Structure 1
Amino acid sequence: MYRFVAALLAVASCASIVQAQTVVSPPDSAPPFTLDRALDAAGASSPSLEAADAGVRAASAARTVAGLRPNPEVQMDVENVAGSGPYSGTQNAEITTGLALPIELGGKRSARIAVADSRSLRARLEAAIALADLRERVTQAYIAAAAAERRMEIAGQLANFADEGFRAASTRVTAGAASPIEQQRADVQRVNANVTLDRARREAAVARENLGRLIGEPVAGPLDSGWFDRVGGYGPTRPASAAGTLVLAAAEADVATASAQVRLARSQRIPNVTLSAGARRLSATGDTAAVFGVSIPFPLFNSGRAALSQAQAERQAVDAKRRVTVLDTEQAIAAAQAELANAAATARSTGGPALAAASEAARIARIGYAQGRFSQLDLLDAERTLADTRGAFVDALVAYHDAEARLAHLTTPAPDVAGATP
Structure 2
Amino acid sequence: MKMRFVPPIMALLGLLLFPSCGTNRSFVKVAGTDFTIKKKPYYFVGANFWYGAYLGADADYGNRARLLRELDHLEEVGINNLRIMAASEESDFGLPLSPPFQYESGAYNDTLLRGLDFLLAEMGKRNLRAVLVLNNFWDWTGGMGQYVSWATGEPVFDPGSNENHTWDEAMDSAARFYEMEEPQARYLKYINTLVNRVNTYTKKPYKNDPAIMSWELANEPRPLKDGYSDNEGNVRVFSEWVHNTAAYIHSIDPNHLVTTGSEGSKGTLGKVEFAKQAHASEYIDYTTFHLWPKNWSWYDAEKPETMGQTKENASAYIAEHVELSRQLNKPSVLEEIGFVRDGEKFAPDSPITARDDFYRFILDIVKASVEEGKALSGLNFWSWGGEGRAQQSDYGWKPGDVIYTGDPYGEAQGLNSIYDTDTSTLEMISQYVDILERLTDEKNEAR
TM-score calculated relative to the size of structure 2: 0.18
Structure with greater strand share of residues = 2
Structure having the higher Rg: 1
Structure with the larger RCO, 1 or 2 (CA within 8 Å, 6+ apart):
1
Structure with greater helix share of residues = 1
TM-score calculated relative to the size of structure 1: 0.19
